[in-house]
Amino acid sequence: MDELIDRWRDATRAAGATDPAGVERAVARLLAGWREPHRHYHTVTHLRAVLDVVDAYAGSARRPDLVRLAAWCHDAVYDPRAGGDANERASAELAGELLTAAGLPTDAVTGVRRLVLLTAGHAVGPDDPDGTLLCDADLAVLAAPPADYDRYAAAVRREYAHVPDPDFRAGRAAVLTGLLALPALYRLPEPHTRWEPRARANLTRELATLR
């Protein structure tokens, strides 16, 4: 965990944070969220996986420091009972509060908030390398080997244990259909080549089981 906290400190420093105490309060609050007991997929493991992809392709971004901070914040609020993009909006709001208190410049805070909101639909414009990197990293799990993908899908189902099976199947199918309808799940050249076919195969396979 110390290594993960160091990554947070490095990113906030690169983004211009001026309040060390605020930086420490922010990471404590974020980690508390990522460790909430109702999370089964949206955990610290997911956070670390997203950060690893961001680091691997950081050279594609204009502000990789902001992408790293957005990765930390993108599921900071995660309530499976919330509807629509409520979690993403709440996470962006929390990011703004924490990063402002950590002394980040206003433009950096605004940039992180914008990136967090993109994870609601993963629709990124053609001239948005930072958004592309974050969304590719967030969706990397879709290209996991089939057994790992199945564990991911099962963990998501556990997060929605309160939803009756017919309703979950309908809702999950709508999510998968929306992802499959994207022109590309991955926009960075290497992830697109390496991951796109397997991700679409996984999504199609899960969708068939839901129907």
pLDDT for position 1:
73
Residues 33-51 have pLDDT tens digits of 999 999 999 999 999 999 9
CA distance 74 to 39: 14
3-state SS assignment for residue 117: helix
Sequence-ordered list of residues with C-beta below 8 angstroms from that of 5, at least 6 positions apart, any chain: 27, 31
Query: Are 165 and 153 spatial neighbours (Cβ–Cβ below 8 Å)?
Result: no
3-state SS assignment for residue 37: coil
Residues 71-130 have pLDDT tens digits of 999 999 999 999 889 999 999 999 999 999 999 999 999 999 999 999 998 889 889 999
Residues 141-184 have pLDDT tens digits of 999 999 999 999 999 999 999 999 999 999 999 999 999 998 89
Intra-chain end-to-end CA distance of the chain, in Å: 40
Query: Are 17 and 23 spatial neighbours (Cβ–Cβ below 8 Å)?
Result: yes
What's the whole-model pTM score? 0.94
CA angle 66, 94, 68 (to 5 degrees): 20
Q: Which amino acid is at 176?
A: L
CA distance 170 to 52: 32
How many other CB atoms are found less than 10 A from the CB of residue 62? 11
Q: How far is CA 106 from the centre of its chain?
A: 22
Sequence-ordered list of residues with C-beta below 8 angstroms from that of 114, at least 6 positions apart, any chain: 92, 131
Q: Using CB atoms within 10 Å of the CB of residue 197, give its burial: 0 to 12 exposed, 13 to 18 middle, 19+ buried.
A: exposed
Query: Are 153 and 40 spatial neighbours (Cβ–Cβ below 8 Å)?
Result: no
Phi-psi region of 61 (alpha: psi -120 to 50; beta: other; left: phi over 0): beta
Q: What token pair was written down for 182?
A: 């994207």
